[in-house]
Structure 1
């Protein structure tokens, strides 16, 4: 069941939800549905879908706006369902975070084919977007790091710092290198900014941020991400 894809359906028409759910189950997918945006946002957090089927016109709500908000929490493909055929609606839906657009009335078979195509694309992409180290896996797609069974989401700067250090694991990376790489030569910040972000990163991934074991300070030089036998030697 670990590889079972989860499909979330957001539509204020119960009949549409039931149809899509039946077809999802035929394909072996897990599915859950919601009839309004507020419920859907809660479901998004608890269900953690691999793909979302979303109506453009929810009762008293705009599905496109919901999609825009949802993009702060998920990178899952979003397939819009809509009775609206105007180009400007399609353009808005696809510009504000949607990945596909299917007009009603729709063929459930065609919808399933589109869903499977998007899931294939994501699965292929995700395999290429993981950097695995002993005890630590970086997920470039979700901008997160997995430590054992724990998933930690990072800010863009934090992830960039950790990613560069992970690519140079067990090697010293200077503060100047990190600063120029992440902030750039033209930045108005100064190199002390690196220390602030390293501190925030340690709070998220270290057991004891005051006595870090993964991101260690190499006095006078910079930092080192420690993994594998080097980490075991320290512990």
Structure 2
């Protein structure tokens, strides 16, 4: 009788151990699509040439008009004569003083906000843009006592991507993807794509959709993971959420995310 009980206990323990082993979750780090710090590169020569002089404001679009603080930010759209600025060039004006930044790429959805309390002009420009792609760079500018603007520092999309990768991982069970932040489950996505051959070995990527919200006191980075399948050359975003984190950026270029 006693031997039978021991055998039964060993059998139950063995079943429990096997069950736990089979249900063990395997976390994988997310991958990054950006492989270079300098995504945008330099402005076209036509932009550099026209911004050596006083640019006609009719060639620009207004990104910021802060009348209370006497600040305007203009984004160059054309160099004249039907020559596109290709998304490059901004002009920062304060109290009538203009500062030219030909190599800043504003892209198609630039943002700017002046924080009078801290004396900081935040600017967001698109480093890379296209179908399903919006990768932004965050700039921090300040003014001297003569109202000239200077870029104090910026966050390259690659650097922000790498910082996020340190904290993000995922696991897959059937059609469900669980996203972890610092190894704590934070989101569950159910895949609805059925004609792409299943998940790739590296299924979750970030970097193609990485933007900023600068309406509040501190900038907020917003990013949407994309799913990679066995077939198809592009990431899909049908079922993935947009995540966010508050950004603290000092004048030395060091940043942290919350």
> What interval of TM-score do these two structures reach, taking the shorter chain for normalisation?
under 0.3
Of structures 1 and 2, the larger Rg is shown by 2
Question: Whose relative contact order is higher, 1 or 2, with alpha carbons under 8 Å and at least 6 apart?
Answer: 2
When normalised by structure 1's length, the TM-score is 0.24
| Greater per-residue helix proportion | 1
When normalised by structure 2's length, the TM-score is 0.22
| Greater per-residue strand proportion | 2
